[in-house]
Chain A
Amino acid sequence: MANSYKEITKELQEIAAEVFAEHEIKHLVGFGRGEFSGLTEPVFLKNPEEAERLIFQDDAAPMLSKYLLKYKPDLQAVVAKPCDSRALAYYISEGKISRDNLVIIGINGCPGIEGNTACQECDTRNPVIADYTVGEEMSQQELEAELEGVKYLLEDMTPAERKEHYSREFSRCTQCYACRDACPVCYCDHCYVESNQPEWLEEGSSADKDMIFHLMRTMHMPGRCVNCGACEMACPEGIEMRSMTTHLYHRAKELYNYRPGISPEQPTLFSDFDKEDSEPGFL
């Protein structure tokens, strides 16, 4: 059973105080009620008295792992949804952040985020790495029972139907790059979209340029995308783009038995190879 938001919030506040007492952390990154917006936003807690600000709700969509990179030389604590914990494991596997600098409060049996389609096909409901956990762990059988018969987005469509679908969806894209900014595993200092030497994306916006942007963005994603759905949640135009990365996520699982961020020790998809890798569709 997934845990309720209330229980998780209560336990989070208790554990936060514990974390402050046991570790000398710079700050604790978690979710809190925004002072002006009233929405659930990332909050940086500096002392144990603030622990009651922590909440976990069905609109806790931002991925907190990305906020940690800025302060990576310091010891930080973070409230990690299971997808966040996978992103963190991925950071560690890439040497992006040190495990010693992290205190991870994992959320067991994550009840999911409202409106995020990725949560319906989520295959990680317990954190992969954590120092503290809240809530009850979800058993493997239970997870498998929930996932039974679940199909990933657009799996059943024909390529021609998908082409039409993407033509329609990406015609709304304004190239604001919110999907890139929200993505926990998109963290290059110099992104290809802003590069003008070489110029991957030409200036100006048109339907086909938007499509190129999304294809190129997706091509950076296989072996990185943890299938958290943050890109889609961030999109101001409500464009359905997750199906592309999700497809590659599932293909990498089928072909190479590879799921990003499953353990901090595993090499990344493209930095590793097997001499026996299959060659589907090669001449």
Chain B
Amino acid sequence: MATAQKEKQAQQKEFDPKIIAFLCNWCSYAAADLAGSSRLQYPSNIRTIRIPCTGRLNPLLVIKALNKGADGILVSGCHPGDCHYIDGNYYARRRFTMLKDLLEFSGVEPERLNFTWCSAAEGRRFAEIVRKVVERVESVGPWQGFLSEPDVVAEKEAGEIEDGEFL
């Protein structure tokens, strides 16, 4: 009985999403810092990657992060007009809009793809954003990959082809 209970508990265990946060060095990363030094609480689900500018973030990296098993993505940079490199985030905005469109079109839930702006002074806003993003990702559950389940299962079941089948 004890084992059955444990299993049940394990099943009921809350889904703990893994969220990759690409943060701009000049604003959002500093905002995360500020949130920390102001002792603001926010979920520990994000894994921060510091980038020099959102304009530097290759959209393929987002695809790759999802491929490697991240449940959600957060990209945050300076507010439009406040870019340290003058216009990096304007370029990024177009790119991310297209990336988001492509991924949503091919079946990724929009809740997993989060893009936002957050300045260095907005520690409070950063904590709020993280809470919101975690909530959004939790609402769609664990990430199952870019392909729909039955086909992946079918391929795994098929496994290696026997030599005889070729003949």
Contact check, B146 vs A215: say whether CB atoms are below 8 A apart. Answer: yes
Contact check, B115 vs A212: say whether CB atoms are below 8 A apart. Answer: no
> Chain A 148-178 against B: per-residue CB contact (8 Å), 1 yes, 0 no?
0000000000011011101110110000000
Using A273-B93, A275-B90, A283-B115 as known contacts, say yes or no to A219 and B60 having CB atoms under 8 A apart. Answer: yes
Q: Inside 8 A of B155's CB, which chain A residues have their CB?
A: 171, 206-207
Q: Inside 8 A of B150's CB, which chain A residues have their CB?
A: 164, 167
> Chain A 271-283 against B: per-residue CB contact (8 Å), 1 yes, 0 no?
1011101111111
Main secondary structure of the interface of B (DSSP, over half): helix
- B107 and chain A: residue at smallest CB distance: A163
- A residues contacting the other copy or chain, number (CB 8 A): 43
A71 in the interface (beta carbon within 8 A)? no
Contact check, B147 vs A192: say whether CB atoms are below 8 A apart. Answer: no
A278, B147: Cα distance in complex, Å? 30
A279, B104: Cα distance in complex, Å? 15
A270 in the interface (beta carbon within 8 A)? yes
B43 in the interface (beta carbon within 8 A)? no
A181 in the interface (beta carbon within 8 A)? no
Q: Inside 8 A of B146's CB, which chain A residues have their CB?
A: 163, 166, 208, 211-212, 215
A residues with CB within 8 A of B = 159-160, 162-164, 166-168, 170-171, 192, 200, 206-208, 211-212, 215-216, 218-219, 222-223, 244, 247-248, 251-252, 255-256, 269-271, 273-275, 277-283
B residues with CB within 8 A of A = 59-60, 63-64, 67, 80-81, 87, 90-91, 93-95, 97-110, 113-117, 129, 132-133, 145-148, 150-152, 155
Interchain Cβ contacts under 8 Å between A and B, 5 examples: A162-B105, A163-B148, A167-B148, A215-B63, A219-B98
